[in-house]
Amino acid sequence: MDVTLPPNNNMNKNSLFNSIISDHPQYSFKPGSVFHWNPTLNLISYQQDKIDKDSGVWSLLHELGHATLDHSRYYDDFQLLIMESSAWKQAQKLSKMYDVLIKQSYIDQCLDGYREWLHQRSKCNECGTNSLQCSPSKYHCHSCLNVWSVTPLNECKQG
């Protein structure tokens, strides 16, 4: 009987993940609970259990996007959304070097998550008007003049 074994895709992705890491010795990489770029420590965290999955490779490239664009901090929620979007654009550029195609629908889904989060944060709990952020931790309703605090989200996290 002639049996042809299918190529071991997980093994391939695993080595892809490792070669992306070894191509970027200027950053530290460490397993963690989420994909995460920490500009203070120059450290990219990754989820060990995702390194053999497409989405794991995409998330790693996304965090590298933040790192290579030198994203350090942001001052308001809207700026975070812009940084998220540009990190994905950078990830797409990087992905070409590794012959990886990041699914556009995956990117859209991630950005929609941020948009939804932004929408919820900016909604006045008194009158429901979507309002403007006046500091990293405060929103101000232009309609009923309600002011509320939010926790500044300092870094990108891909869960």
CB-based contact 133:77 (threshold 8 Å): yes
Q: Does 109 bind Zn ion (CB under 5 A)?
A: no
Q: Phi first, then psi: what are they for 99, rounded to 5°? A: 60, 40
Q: Does 23 bind Zn ion (CB under 5 A)?
A: no
Q: Which is nearer to Zn ion, 12 or 70 (CB)?
A: 70
Q: How far apart are CA 47 and CA 56, in angstroms?
A: 8
Q: How far apart are CA 91 and CA 107, in angstroms?
A: 10
Q: How far apart are CA 55 and CA 105, in angstroms?
A: 12
Contacts of 75 (CB under 8 A, 6+ apart): 136
Q: Round to the nearest angstrom and report the end-to-end CA distance of the chain.
A: 45
Q: How far is the CB of 10 from Zn ion (least distance, A)?
A: 25
Q: Which is nearer to Zn ion, 11 or 132 (CB)?
A: 132
Q: How far is the CB of 124 from Zn ion (least distance, A)?
A: 3
Q: Which is nearer to Zn ion, 107 or 141 (CB)?
A: 141
CA 71 to chain centroid, in Å, comes to 12
Scan residues 73-102 and list those touching Zn ion (CB under 5 A).
84, 87
> Which residue of 41, 101, 127, 134 would you call a contact of Zn ion, by CB under 5 A?
127
One-letter amino acid for residue 19 of the chain: S
Q: Does 141 bind Zn ion (CB under 5 A)?
A: yes
Q: Which is nearer to Zn ion, 11 or 144 (CB)?
A: 144
Q: Does 146 bind Zn ion (CB under 5 A)?
A: yes
Residues that bind Zn ion (CB under 5 A): 84, 87, 124, 126-127, 129, 141, 143-144, 146, 156
